[in-house]
Amino acid sequence: MYLNEHAIKNNHDMKKIIGIGLIVLFFYGCKSYVQVFETNGKNLEIENEFYVYENDSLKITYSFWTQKGLMTFAIFNKLDKPLYIDWKKSSYIDNSVKLNYWIDEEKKKSLEYYGSYYYDGPLLKPGYAVSSTGGVSVSSTVKVERITFIPPTSNYYRSQFYILPINFFKLDTKIKYKEVLRNDKPKKKTKIYEKSYSKENSPLIFRNFLTFSFSENFENEFYVDNEFYISGIKEMDRRHFEYTKRDESVKLGKFYLKDENGNILKFSDYKKESSFYLYIPKEGSIDYRK
């Protein structure tokens, strides 16, 4: 009897291991692609991979790293007096197209107005990724405040617009590539296609224009206009872009490192706060279109 129970338990454990293996094989065995977008900033410093703008009054820290890119920034009031932002007089600008941070309508209508550009998740701090398991949603009946008050020596966070809300960027099939060892399987080689851009021929120039004042009535305004552009695009196999790591603490079977929610952790050598990426469909890839 004991032997039968033991055999049943072993059989159950084996099925569990095979099941996990099949799931991993399904997600990582199918070939898919990623495009990584590198950016350059005008009159901005780089601190720990973050773009930083700073003057005597404030410090703005930027982060873009997520799917489709997200204009995420933190404004730090350096002074011992309040700082105010007028969002009606502030805009995100995409290739000269002005997108307003504030309109005098309910948020539901503004979402329809901005279409695919609009991000409706929780406010993010620079360096924090958008959670694939969900987050705090914003009510569609609450009006976005026009004037934001930032207390002395305090931070304010904003994340409202996607930088590149498209399925893929159509790269020339004749661009150069290099062959490297694939991150998930170092014995195999993979191609990385690369294209560089100057500001003059960049496919996207985007700006963050903000209006500030030290008084709530905005008697004396001042402006910050931070400009960025796409400086390079890399296209590669998704299995090279992101990979899993084995959990060495588990001896039986091949298990992968997971986060606190039980999701398999993914690692990328291309992660950079000044860059962003697109998971692209197979038909949009260079390999498929050749």
pLDDT digits (tens, 9 = 90+) for 99-136: 999 988 776 777 777 889 999 888 889 988 775 433 33
What does the pLDDT average to over 82-102? Answer: 96
**What is the SS3 assignment for 253-279?**
CCCECECCCCCECCECCCCCCCEEEEE
Lowest mean pLDDT: which of 74-83, 173-182, 257-266?
A: 257-266
Residue 140 CA: distances (Å) to CA of 101, 106, 117: 16, 7, 16
Are 46 and 52 a contacting pair, CB within 8 Å? Answer: yes
Alpha-carbon dihedral sign for residues 59, 51, 273, 162: positive
pTM: 0.83
Residue 266 has what pLDDT? 87
The CA distance from 245 to 141, in Å, is 43
Residue 238 has what pLDDT? 96
139-142, Cβ contacts within 8 angstroms, sequence gap of 24 or more: 139/107, 140/106, 140/107, 140/108, 140/111, 141/106, 141/107, 141/108, 142/106, 142/107
Asked if the model's pLDDT at residue 12 lies above 60, the reply is: no
Asked if the model's pLDDT at residue 33 lies above 70, the reply is: yes
Per-residue pLDDT reduced to its tens digit, 219-244: 999 999 999 999 999 999 999 999 88
Residue 26 has what pLDDT? 43
Are 70 and 119 a contacting pair, CB within 8 Å? Answer: yes
Most confident of 129-133, 248-252, 263-267: 263-267
**Residue appearing with tokens 């002395």:** 152
% pLDDT > 70, the chain: 83
Residue 77 has what pLDDT? 98
DSSP annotation of 118: B
- From edge to edge, which strands make up the β-sheet containing 70-77? 45-47, 50-54, 58-63, 70-77, 155-162
141 vs 106: which has the higher pLDDT: 106
Q: Exposure of 160 by Cβ count < 10 A (0-12 exposed, 13-18 middle, 19+ buried)?
A: buried
Asked if the model's pLDDT at residue 255 lies above 80, the reply is: no
The count of C-alpha atoms lying within 13 angstroms of the C-alpha of 242, restricted to the half-sphere facing its C-beta, is: 19
Q: Enumerate the domain spans of the chain.
A: 1-30, 31-289
Place 11 in a pLDDT band, splitting at 50, 70 and 90. low
Q: What are phi and psi of 10, to 5 degrees?
A: -60, -40
Place 21 in a pLDDT band, splitting at 50, 70 and 90. very low
Per-residue pLDDT reduced to its tens digit, 171-198: 999 999 999 999 988 899 999 999 999 9
Residue 254 has what pLDDT? 67
pLDDT, the chain, mean = 86
Asked if the model's pLDDT at residue 22 lies above 60, the reply is: no
Residue 168 has what pLDDT? 96
Place 203 in a pLDDT band, splitting at 50, 70 and 90. very high
57 vs 144: which has the higher pLDDT: 57
Lowest mean pLDDT: which of 38-47, 63-72, 152-161, 238-247?
A: 238-247
% pLDDT > 90, the chain: 66
